[in-house]
Structure 1
Amino acid sequence: MSEADAFLGGRLRLHQPPRGAHRAGTDGVLLARLLAAEPGERLCDLGSGPGIVGLACAILQPGVSVTLVERDPALADLARANAALNGVAAEVIVADVLAPGREREAAGLTPDRFDCVLTNPPFFEDGRYRPSPDAAKASAHGFPAEGLDGWIRTCAGILRPGGRLGMIHRADALPRCLAALAGRFGGITVRPVHAKPEEPAIRILVSAVKGSRAPFSLVPPLVLHGPDGRFTPEADALHR
């Protein structure tokens, strides 16, 4: 196993897939910082990969019960090893988020189980991108047409009423994200993420509440890098 990468100023160590495969980074850190779970709450990292989001939450928010869900058995094993490496008693479930409900429930994704769900869905749907030649990377980045709606449906199903969803996605996917959330979530808040102040947004951070009727909010953006290419003070603080 390769040397572990350091996150959160060294508080989190993470073994990752080989270079060329999909690897955790800034997206995972930003997602882990999106919701503040309370001690005793049950948090699910849905589509966890090597576990950066859920394990970061366990370190940042002691007392939270963390479940990591990953469909690739090899990545699930890596997430399990990373949990042990960081001293986190996380549950690891091998399950396909888009599988039929009975299969998901048999794996442990039962209805109304979690207080918080954090997720970084695949960014592309079939027919809208050119898949990577690396099979694992292609699987992490893409899913079937209309997959986002099915992914959000699973999020809603495993959250308790009033439970909170946090998600990161590409900025140009905002209309599809809002369409998938409609009728299932309210109190939706969107924060654009910009690589630099003068450039268009590259990501969106989305939070929402299951069953809420609260209005939509668009909040000030997060800018990752200043003119010198270094992290802005806020982005640097989030990474530490």
Structure 2
Amino acid sequence: MRRHHVILVCAVANLFAAAHVFAFRFEPITQVFAPEGTDSVRTFRIVNTQNEPIATRIAMAARSIDEFGEETMSDASALFRVLPAQAIVQPGATQTVRVQWLGSSRVSSELSFRIVVEQLPVRFEQREGGGAINIMFRYLGSVYVRPPGARANVEIVDVKPVSDAENHGFELLFRNSGTAHTILDGLTVTVRFPSAQTDQSQVLVYGPDELKGIADENLLAGSSRRHFLRVPSDRSLETPEITFEYAGGR
């Protein structure tokens, strides 16, 4: 099972804003588009959960993630038509947002984007004991333009032993050489040292809790991710066999 992630950023100018957290919902948080045809158009919903109107703005951004998990976004407004790109949503109301892919119909590998939904600064009434409050909410949803038959293909393509005063283990390089993203859901890594056939203590299994920073992370099509795997200091780093499994593959 794949997990989909949404990032919510809240900028709050006063502690009284706590009552207004989650001023709106954005649904769904992930959509897959086809490069052409009816599925090149998708709809989203902005739901105002507050008792006052909210002003929103919607934009599209190209998305990349480097080997260290840092995400970079760049403007992709020319590749999509967003209607409406701005909207005032009344209390309790739902605004439908229609998004259409305008880019090439010839897509050989899945393309990754963010749909950025912002609540524009809203000034609330003066409250006793505090000044006026400006709040801005920002949702980052996930959008993928995926060609037919796209599949992820994750491998460990490099294993580098590291042993110094602070670290003892292996720097692993995971690479998704496939044509679709995948979530490393429930990732486990197994290290078998040369004597593992006769001594089971020479087999180390790392579960998701021990693989924070790589387990359950999104590996975009064509991207790589580095992860340092720490092993006990008394273990030799010579020629181990390292394998992995996750819910989407192995």
Q: TM-score range by the shorter chain?
A: under 0.3
From the CA coordinates, give the structure whose radius of gyration is larger.
2
Higher relative contact order (CA 8 A, sep 6+): 2
Q: Which has the higher helix share?
A: 1
TM-score (norm. length: structure 1): 0.24
Q: Which has the higher strand share?
A: 2
